[in-house]
A and B are shown apart, each in its own frame.
Chain A
């Protein structure tokens, strides 16, 4: 089954404790991205990657890091989480960008709470 998986689905942590949210897709997609969803703000892009070893900042990259060492995986790293990073996070992938037939497929989401 074609899918985007994220782990963990739920996480409660404390300020300053480094964490990683994993994202994996099995569709051989080149493009992957991370979004956060906050009430009244919709989905905002954090980082995206056009291909292996190619990453770029989205709208809200501060406080986050990513890496793309393999095509299928695109982990999101919070080196020193803060309460304002409490949010619902989505990973997405597509063949290329999000146009035409290349619409993005989203993972199920990771709800992160930083105390």
Chain B
């Protein structure tokens, strides 16, 4: 039973345009959300996070939006760069350590 879902396995965008990666969750007890980025042959690295008391968090080109009523969050990358090409995992936490990951979305940014 996947509590965190990333329904798009892949996304392709042109360099300079916006990338929007989506994530849905089913557990209303999740209260903290994170995005991780993974390059081939490397472990995931933390990108950005958001607490359920907020609806937006920004860090440079990366912005995460949280819509609690829809149980949906999204990651916006503006402008997209070829170096952003990677697999992006959405993750959610209930309590201190019960982290659930989505299946990942492979982003390709074309020059």
Contact = CB atoms under 8 A, between A and B. Distances in A.
Interface of B: 2, 4, 6, 9, 32, 34, 36, 41-46, 49, 51, 89, 91, 93, 95-97, 99-104
A2 to B, nearest CB: 12
A98 B101 CA distance: 12
Contacts of A42: 2, 4, 6, 89, 101-104
Interface stretch (A61-69, A71-79, A100-108): A100-108
Contacts of B6: 42
16 contacts: A4-B43, A35-B101, A40-B9, A42-B4, A42-B6, A42-B102, A43-B101, A45-B99, A48-B97, A50-B97, A98-B91, A99-B32, A103-B34, A103-B49, A105-B46, A109-B42
B96 A97 contact: yes
Contact of A99 (B36, B96, B101): B96
A65 B47 CA distance: 30
Contacts of B101: 35, 42-44
Given A42-B4, A42-B89, A98-B93, A90 B44 contact: yes
Contact of A108 (B2, B32, B41, B97): B41
Q: Which of A96, A99, A106 has the most CB of B within 10 A?
A: A99
A49 B96 CA distance: 12
B49 A100 contact: yes
B99 to A, nearest CB: 5
Contacts of B41: 108-109
Contacts of A31: 97
